[in-house]
Amino acid sequence: MATSRPLCTIAAVLAATALLISGCSSGSSTPESEASPGRGSEAGAGRTDPGGASATLAPLPTATPAGLRPYYDQKLSWHGCGVSGFECATMKVPLDYGDPGAGTDLKIAVARKKATGPGKRIGSLMVNPGGPGGSAIDYLQQYAPQPAAVRARYDMVAMDPRGVARSEPVECLSDKQMDSYTQTDQTPDSQAEVGKLTHAYRDFADGCRSRSGKVLGHVSTVEAARDTDVLRAIVGDEKLNYVGASYGTFLGATYAGLFPSRSGRLVLDGAMNPALDSRTINNDQTAGFNTAFTAFAADCVKRSDCPLGTKSVQDAGKQLSALFKKLDAHPVATGEARPLTESLATTGVIAAMYDEGAWSVLREYLAQAKGGDGRGLLMLSDSYYERDPDGTYANQMYANAAVNCLDLPPAFTTTRQARAAIPTFRKTSPVFGDNFAWAALNCAYWPVKATGKPHRIEAKGADPIVVVGTTRDPATPYAWAEGLADQLSSATLLTYDGDGHTAYGRGSDCIDTAINTYLLEGTPPPKNKRCE
């Protein structure tokens, strides 16, 4: 049961090249003028805000309130952890920034690896791989050595945001229940199947409420951005230097909106547009994955062994839809207790759309599935859900839903609304439209009312910010980057004409040189720079 919000790449599964950032994504929330994720699709995309957001995120006062001083002034007890050279600590932040010191604090896990030189240390560089729900600490420990020139001049720093991984993680289902949830049919063909789908959404939401308690209402992106500022102060930086991917761009942009005078060198890669509402976001992302599949299919049909035929892109789409329909009626064996269902197969294909390096693997696994062997697509699906071979799940999917559903009102609140939207979603993507339309119903039963709404982020007074967009990015469509770059008063848009989710560290010397130069020298790329 794939979510229709930006998530993670499958780089780990594919043993992809180590990146500085090549992340994930989704939405977020806001107190007064806070908001949520982005958009960009076919009709009406461009550099406008079709979500109709009128509010602009207002900066917080530059002076730190007295009630927050104990948090900003705390001293962390760093200790060695994980890979050699890394240090970890626990930071304390208020559960509710509106009532700090009320006796209810959260423990936030942080990590760093100090700069090794040569060259003068610039400061700290915080990273976030997206999600929401991706562990920034895990990411840091895996990829901090890249690129060496940046690593030499910065202390690399990461924080698992509240509700994520080591930081008061949101929990919702047992591993067995999550297995069942991921297999729920997300393209219901009858009223009974609609009932099963909505029941699954309700059970998921109820599980989050019963297992996560106080944290569930305080995992918004605005709160995570405020936690980021506490960490910035603790590590001794006057300004935040930051590289965020996918949802991490929304977190970074939110920080800039709240603290423009404290925003340093910010790279927002695979950008989201906070001015968009949930329905627009879901339909735009449907278009994004359709664009990615079209690129995959165009490459596939040129090959004699393409499992979707060699006629045309349109025919390849029909063959994939036929495979999904066949699996809906007759799931195939995988060598374990879980057969490959339509839902798991769809998730597996979606996972492979995040990285064009997965196309050859996807061709192989589609051929296997057509031959009755579902192991490959199941592995891709498990990578998307962060399910380990022993059957345990990371908390990313739980945190993802918790942040998304708090940050924006749901796209649909009734099954009637979702069903009525299917023709529009199907027109956007004949292959994935039905799946994404029903997936957009997932926040309808959330136990905590959304605190965020669509808004603009201008961050007036911030240092130059680099926004990066990839033209055929499936999870964060290019128009989202255009929209965010238009809003941010000091932004420069850097374009990668290519495939896959995000651009930095994914093989383009042009992109990497532009971003590394900005991080090391503070000079943003020229206006409207494009790379291939």
Helix %, strand %, coil % for the chain, to 5?
Answer: 40, 15, 45
**In this structure, are residues 354 and 8 in contact, taking their beta carbons and an 8 Å threshold?**
yes
- Report how far residue 125's alpha carbon sits from residue 447's, in angstroms, rounded to the nearest whole number: 36
Choose the catalytic residue: 22, 135, 246, 381.
246
- Is residue 473 flagged as an active site residue? yes
Helix residue ranges, H only, 408-466 = 415-428, 433-439
- Is residue 210 flagged as an active site residue? no
- Is residue 407 flagged as an active site residue? no
The per-residue b/e assignment along 140-165, b for 16 or more CB within 10 angstroms, e otherwise, is bbbbbebbeebbbbbbbbbbbbbbbb
- Report how far residue 215's alpha carbon sits from residue 172's, in angstroms, rounded to the nearest whole number: 12
**In this structure, are residues 456 and 487 in contact, taking their beta carbons and an 8 Å threshold?**
yes
Choose the catalytic residue: 160, 284, 501, 512.
501
Nearest to 113 by CA among 134, 83, 91: 83
What is the DSSP secondary structure assignment for residue 71, as one 8-state letter?
H
The residues near 103 (Cβ < 8 Å, ≥ 6 apart) are: none
- Indicate the pairing of strand 105-113 with strand 154-159: antiparallel
As beta bridge partners, residue 472 has 499
The residues near 389 (Cβ < 8 Å, ≥ 6 apart) are: 382
- 3-class DSSP state of 73: coil
Choose the catalytic residue: 185, 269, 463, 473.
473
Is the omega angle on the peptide bond into residue 132 within 30 degrees of 0, that is, cis? yes
The residues near 61 (Cβ < 8 Å, ≥ 6 apart) are: none
- Indicate the pairing of strand 529-531 with strand 79-80: unpaired
Q: Which residues are annotated as catalytic?
A: 246, 473, 501
